[in-house]
Chains A and B, each alone.
Chain A
Amino acid sequence: MKFLNILFLAFIALFFSACAASKGYDYSNFLQTKPRSILVPMPTNETAEIKASAAVLAHSLAPLSEAGYYVFSPALVNDTFKHNGITEPSEIAQIPLSKLKQIFNADAVLYLNVSQYGTSYQLINSKTAVAVEAKLVDINTANTLWERTVLAQQDSGGGSGGLLGILVSAVVNQIVNSVGDAGYDMSAQAMMMLYAPDCYDCLLRGQYSAKYMQDKQLTR
């Protein structure tokens, strides 16, 4: 009887420990593949801003490389597609992974989609936002290795009081933003967020990183 009780308790303990483990982000596919190199094709773009894809891709380079991955030269990759008659990001997304592997021999492909980009103007305020959906796919098995969505945004708060002051500041903001390309700057911030390490659903570091396999969400 005592033995059965202990067995029962052991089962309960096992059951709950399994529950605790499954609460974390599922990195099992990722840890099986352990990608070294990542191909990032031109992001698909749902916004009206033509330059959104270029800005998001360019700003992916530093954080993704510093995370420890080999990232293929985006300009060279895009020209390779162009020379083969493929110019639209949506067409690139249709290319079979086996074909991409044949040409690039990457370990994984990172598909990005820009769903918001740039500054929208309300009557007395303007808001700059960049939103990107990312999906990292195993080039051999097509398994999803990692997925994350980020949104970076900033409101231009009206300065000192009075409706006129607020109106003026909205106008000034519009001018500044259109010259300085606020979307470009905001996409830098968005991409820093997207590839940041050590959080619940963060991208794990790659093999060039000194902290490879020491990500906080793994060692916890």
Chain B
Amino acid sequence: MRYKILLVALCAFIFAGCAGDKSSALYYWDGSYTSANYKYLSDEYDLNEQISMLRDSEQRAYEKGLKVPPGFYAHLGLLYSNLGNMPQAKAYFQKEVELFPESKSYIEFLLTQDKTTKAKK
């Protein structure tokens, strides 16, 4: 009986150790945000392919209860705006601001710039 308690305690200890290791990652990384940026910045990409890749990644992050990295939602917003889907673009830009308030002024700058360029047209 005593051994059993000891065994349980030992297991708990081991798993606590594991949990500690996992919590050291702040965000969910599966390589898709990194490769999306590499391809976008080197001008070799397909908008729809990037969107589906990143939305799959977003879903997996959600299932694992992890945050997507900084800039992730902003990148998705950019892809939708390139497709001309402004409602979706704005929704993702908004998500970026909610998750990371550091992006607030920049996103506001982009949205007002978008309005002024449309007004010029």
Q: Which residues of A lie under 8 Å from residue B102 when comparing CB positions? A: 36-37, 70, 105-106
A86 adjacent to chain B (CB < 8 Å):
no
A70:B24 contact, CB within 8 angstroms: no
Report the separation of the CA atoms of residues A42 and B37 in the bound assembly, to the nearest whole angstrom: 11
Option from B27, B96, B100, B105 in Cβ contact (under 8 Å) with A104: B105
B106:A61 contact, CB within 8 angstroms: no
Report the separation of the CA atoms of residues A72 and B99 in the bound assembly, to the nearest whole angstrom: 13
B44 nearest CB neighbor, chain A only:
A51
Report the separation of the CA atoms of residues A69 and B114 in the bound assembly, to the nearest whole angstrom: 27
A208 adjacent to chain B (CB < 8 Å):
yes
Report the separation of the CA atoms of residues A184 and B110 in the bound assembly, to the nearest whole angstrom: 31
Tell me what chain A mostly uses at the interface: helix, strand, loop, or mixed: helix
Tell me what chain B mostly uses at the interface: helix, strand, loop, or mixed: helix
Q: Which residues of A lie under 8 Å from residue B41 when comparing CB positions? A: 42, 53-54, 57-58, 74-75, 78
A134 adjacent to chain B (CB < 8 Å):
no
Query: How many chain-B residues does the 8 Å CB contact rule pick out?
Result: 33
B109:A61 contact, CB within 8 angstroms: no
Contact with A along B73-87 (1 / 0, CB 8 A): 011011000000000
Q: How many A-B residue pairs have CB under 8 A?
A: 95
Within 8 A of A (CB), among B54-78: 69-72, 74-75, 77-78
Contact with B along A76-113 (1 / 0, CB 8 A): 10111001000000000000000000011110000000
Report the separation of the CA atoms of residues A76 and B81 in the bound assembly, to the nearest whole angstrom: 11
A73:B35 contact, CB within 8 angstroms: no
Q: Which residues of A lie under 8 Å from residue B36 when comparing CB positions? A: 75
B5 adjacent to chain A (CB < 8 Å):
no
B27:A54 contact, CB within 8 angstroms: no
A101 nearest CB neighbor, chain B only:
B105
Q: Which residues of B lie under 8 Å from residue A78 when comparing CB positions? A: 41
Option from A66, A72, A103, A105 in Cβ contact (under 8 Å) with B27: A66
Report the separation of the CA atoms of residues A209 and B43 in the bound assembly, to the nearest whole angstrom: 33
B37:A54 contact, CB within 8 angstroms: yes
Complex A-B: 15 CB contacts under 8 Å:
A51-B42, A54-B41, A58-B41, A69-B70, A70-B100, A72-B71, A73-B71, A74-B37, A75-B36, A75-B78, A76-B75, A76-B78, A105-B104, A184-B38, A210-B23
